[in-house]
Chains A and B, each alone.
Chain A
Amino acid sequence: MAKYANQIDYRLPRNAVLQRDSSKRKRITQCRTRLLFVGLVFCMSYILLVVRLFDVAFTGAEEQNFVERPTVTTSSKLPVMRADILDRNGELLAGSIHTRSLFANPKLVQRFGVEKTVQALQNILPDLDADRLRSKLNSNRSFVYIKRHLTPSQQEQTNSLGIPGLEFEEAQKRLYPLGSLFAHILGYVDIDNNGIAGVEKYFDNLLRKGEEPLVLSVDARIQHILHEEMCNGMVTYNAIGAVGIVMDIRNGEIIAMASLPDFDPNYPGRYAPETRFNRATYGLYEMGSIFKTFTTAMALHYGTAKLKTGYDARNPIKVGRYTIRDAHPQKRWLTVPEIFVHSSNIGTVKMVMEVGKERQKDFLRKLGLFEKLQLELPETATPITPKKWRDINMMTISYGHGISVTPLHLVRAVASLLGEGKLLQPTLIKGGNILTENNQQLIAKDIVYDLRKLMRAVVRHGTGRKADAAGYRVGGKTGTAEKVKSGNYAASDKLASFVGIFPSEDPKYAILVMLDEPKGNKQTYGYATGGWVAAPVVANIVSRMAPLYGIQPVYELHDVDDELEFHEVNYQQNIQRQIVKNYVHTATF
């Protein structure tokens, strides 16, 4: 071992100490650097904190506000609000407001005490039924509605009760600020905001999307006038119901439409079911003499009569067991204008006999009187027409009996004949219709002018005198129909109506007013006919509505119907008419 001991060099390398020294120093330097690093990091952090502290203490005051605000439910969670419905001038007819509904978790409420809760809630919501509420809160369910649509103050008070288990649900409520004014047009919604009648139902899907408001063609001001005058008429003549329609003849837009009795769509449940019936579009009525407008139009259109043609109206027409008489018998030969002005059934029947069944049917069909009414309402009806069109049907239909149509059917047909002579499509939407070349021309323009003259003559010289509104040249036709009661015509129960146009020389609006079972009074000498009870209502409406629309009154001596001849009969023609007379007597029915 010793042998090798000397060979071992125990010396350190020459630079060993130096080496060890430098590595030590290196490590110390490293440590210092690290310390510095750490120190710096801490320093920076402290500086950061200090800066942030200053930031929060002095400048961050406003931001703090945002943070402290109670969290509000974001809009994305909200239900889409049902779209508004506006009238043609932008008046709000139906709108949705945001509400909250109160519901309870009975299990939680039971722990707090049902009786205490009921008492507390009754102070805030006095219309709650205590017994029902108690049984609701004692139930085993975990969700019961207590009250839908709380007012903001009720909400606040309930919230401040602090009763566990009482909670709010976001909801919306449909409001109709104008009340019953547009009841039958707008319809109403159920408690879950589903449209179940009227425009609300027809446009339910569109309204649900909550995008653009729906703009109707109706005018709230005119609707008010119509509604008020109809109410007055109903009260004055003690009627059981009324219908009123104002239509723009130029484009078929419905400016106003009301059916009485009506209801408040805010509380449809509070009204009798029959008030929800829209007589204007869903009620089918035999409209009576207004149909003479169509008979006269078809006679002129098919050329079977001219304005100067005369008919023998001396004797009632006997048809089987029926006798057709005149309400205002003139007992002489009558010209076409005279038949129209005096509303002679006999003359009208003789006119239609020359036209014939098939052409009569064809003409009435073209006027849209056989088909279901196309309108933006779910409540529209299909007219009732005779299954077999016999001669007696032809005769009675010529003066408006034996065919039942809705009042809107009638206004549409009259407006079509007296406007452009083209079939109009009624609409409830503003700008919903544009009369185009495609609209079928029903009658020639000169026959339109003749009809305007005839209607004006009715108001100036005939049954519709009470419809005249000074300066506005109302033209029109009266109608008085006996109502069918238990299979027979009831002479005492009448439908009195008047359809008017104004101004006659260039009609802009067609107005129909119909009173159901009016009773005559002292002022009407006991009469309850269209001319006595419905015509004055139309006059009132026109004289209030026309100044609103800035329609210029005209007080000139010349009038549209001046060239019509009365009390003059071309007797030569009448000899030819004898054929008709014979036909009446020999025809078998």
Chain B
Amino acid sequence: MWLHIRGFLGFIILAAAVYGLYLVKWEVRDLKRQNMWLKAEITEKQRELKLLQTEWAYLNRPERLQILTTKYLPLELASGQQLVDNFTILTAAEDMPAHNVSTMSKYGNMLHSAAYNYNGNSDEVKH
């Protein structure tokens, strides 16, 4: 009897092992397929991305942007006259009469107060 139980148990274990192996095999096969598929999809996506990047570069070529800008935007080519350094801005705001400053934009007012602070600080240093 004991022998039978042992045999039976052995069989169960064997069956479980076989079943387990079977499951693992299927799992692996699925994963392999999945892996292959994902790899293929990555390649496909990379290709698409590449195509889009090239297209983007083509659409953003300086020549075209320039044409579109002149057509649709109220912008001109930047010129040197539009560039000033911080010091010039500060001193300009300082020299400006008060009523002129008040008509300046919010940004201008901000600069004016900055100039004021700058001036105040420098006075302190001098004294």
Does A54 have its Cβ within 8 Å of any Cβ on chain B? no
Minimal beta-carbon separation of B91 from chain A (angstroms): 14
Set of chain A residues within 8 Å of B47, measured between Cβ atoms: 97-98
Set of chain A residues within 8 Å of B50, measured between Cβ atoms: 81, 95-98
In the bound assembly, the distance between CA atoms of A228 and B65 in angstroms comes to 13
Q: How far is the CA of A311 from the CA of B111 in the complex (A)?
A: 55
How does the 8 Å CB contact mask read for B112-127 relative to A, with 1 for contact and 0 for none? 0000000000000000
How many pairs of A and B residues are in contact by the CB < 8 Å rule?
100
CB distance from B108 to the nearest CB of A (A): 21
Among A33, A37, A177, A470, point to the contact of B57 (Cβ < 8 A).
A177
A66 and B40 alpha carbons, distance in the complex (Å): 12
B61 near A177 with CB under 8 A, answer yes
Q: Per a CB cutoff under 8 Å, which of B34, B63, B85 touches A66?
A: B34
Q: Report whether B81 and A471 are in contact in the complex, using a CB–CB cutoff of 8 Å.
A: yes
17 A-B pairs with CB atoms under 8 Å apart are A66-B33, A69-B37, A72-B43, A74-B36, A91-B60, A96-B50, A97-B54, A179-B61, A220-B61, A228-B63, A469-B80, A470-B80, A544-B78, A547-B79, A547-B80, A547-B83, A550-B83
Residues of A within 8 Å of B60, CB to CB, are 91
Closest residue to B40 on the A side, CB-wise?
A: A72
- Is there an interface contact between A178 and B61, defined as CB atoms closer than 8 Å? yes
Please, which residues of chain A bring their CB within 8 A of the CB of B40?
72-75
Q: Taking the complex as formed, is A543 at the interface, i.e. its CB lies under 8 A from any CB of chain B?
A: yes
A221 to B78, CA, bound (A): 13
Q: Which chain B residues (45-89) contact chain A, with CB distance < 8 Å?
A: 47, 50-51, 53-58, 60-63, 66, 77-83, 85
**Binary flags per residue of B14-56, CB closer than 8 Å to A gives 1, else 0:** 0100010010000000100110110111111001001101111
For chain B, give the interface size range: 35 or more
Look across to chain A and name the residue whose beta carbon is closest to the beta carbon of B55: A177
Is A92 a contact partner of B54 (Cβ separation < 8 A)?
Answer: yes
Within 8 A of B (CB), among A520-552: 543-544, 546-548, 550, 552
Residues of B contacting A97 with CB < 8 Å?
47, 50-51, 54
Closest 6 CB pairs of A and B: A72-B40, A224-B62, A177-B57, A553-B80, A92-B57, A177-B58
- Say whether B61 contacts A544, CB under 8 Å: no
CA–CA, A48 to B23, complex, Å?
11
Residues of chain B within 8 A (CB-CB) of A484 are none
Contact partners of B58 in chain A: CB under 8 A:
175, 177-178
Residue interface mask A154-194, B partner, CB < 8 A = 1: 00000000000000000000010111010000000000000
Contact code string A220-254 (vs B, CB < 8 Å = 1, else 0): 11011000100000000000000000000000000
- B82 and A67 contacting across the interface, CB-CB below 8 Å: no
Question: From A470, which residue of chain B is reached at the shortest CB distance?
Answer: B80
Interface, chain B (partner A; CB < 8 A): 4, 11, 15, 19, 22, 30, 33-34, 36-37, 39-44, 47, 50-51, 53-58, 60-63, 66, 77-83, 85
Main secondary structure of the interface of B (DSSP, over half): helix
> Which of chain A's residues 67-121 have a Cβ closer than 8 Å to chain B?
67, 69, 71-75, 78, 81, 91-93, 95-98
Q: Contact between A181 and B61 (Cβ–Cβ < 8 Å)?
A: yes
Residues of A within 8 A of B22 (CB): 48
Does A44 interact with chain B (Cβ within 8 Å)? Answer: yes
Query: Which residue of A is nearest B38, CB measured?
Result: A66
- Give the distance to chain A from B20, nearest Cβ to Cβ, in Å: 11
A258 CA to B30 CA, complexed, in Å: 56
With A177-B58, A543-B79 as known contacts, state yes or no: A78 contacts B43, CB within 8 Å.
yes
Chain B residues near A92 (CB-CB < 8 A)? 53-54, 56-57
A95 with B85: CB separation less than 8 A: no
Residues in B whose Cβ lies below 8 Å from that of A469: 80
Docked CA distance A547–B79 (Å):
6
CB distance from A559 to the nearest CB of B (A): 16
CB distance from A566 to the nearest CB of B (A): 27
Interface size class of A (residues with CB under 8 A): 35 or more
A470→B81 contact, CB < 8 A:
yes
A434 sits at the interface (CB 8 A): no
Q: Does A563 lie at the interface of the complex (its beta carbon under 8 Å from any beta carbon of B)?
A: no
CB of B38, distance to nearest CB on chain A (Å)? 9
Instruction: Name A48's contact: one of B19, B44, B80 (CB within 8 Å).
Output: B19
Whether A196 sits at the interface, judged by CB under 8 Å, is: no
Q: Is the CB of A175 within 8 A of B54?
A: yes
* Known A72-B41, A543-B80; further 5 A-B contacts with Cβ < 8 A: A41-B15, A72-B43, A91-B57, A97-B47, A224-B62
CB distance from A62 to the nearest CB of B (A): 10
Q: Tell me which residues across on chain A come within 8 A of B85, comparing CB atoms.
A: 552
Q: For B42, list chain A residues within 8 Å (CB).
A: 75
List the A side residues contacting B11 at CB < 8 Å.
37, 40
**Complex Cα–Cα for A98 and B47 (A):** 6
Chain A residues within 8 Å of B41, by CB: 72
A529 to B23, CA, bound (A): 86
CA distance A72 to B50 in the complex (A): 19
For B39, list chain A residues within 8 Å (CB). 74-75
Chain B residues with CB below 8 A from A223, complex form: 62
Contact (A553, B81) CB under 8 Å given A92-B53, A181-B61: yes
Please determine whether A95 and B83 come into contact, CB atoms closer than 8 angstroms: no
How distant is the Cα of A472 from the Cα of B83 in the complex, in angstroms? Answer: 11
Cα–Cα distance between A40 and B15 once the two chains are bound (Å)? 10
Complex Cα distance, B54 from A425, in Å, reads: 32
Which chain B residues lie closer than 8 Å to A471 at the CB level?
80-81
Expressed in whole angstroms, the minimum distance between the Cβ of A81 and any Cβ of chain B is: 8
Docked Cα-Cα span, A362 to B40, in Å, equals: 63
Residues of B within 8 Å of A66, CB to CB, are 30, 33-34, 37
Q: Is the CB of B62 within 8 A of A221?
A: yes
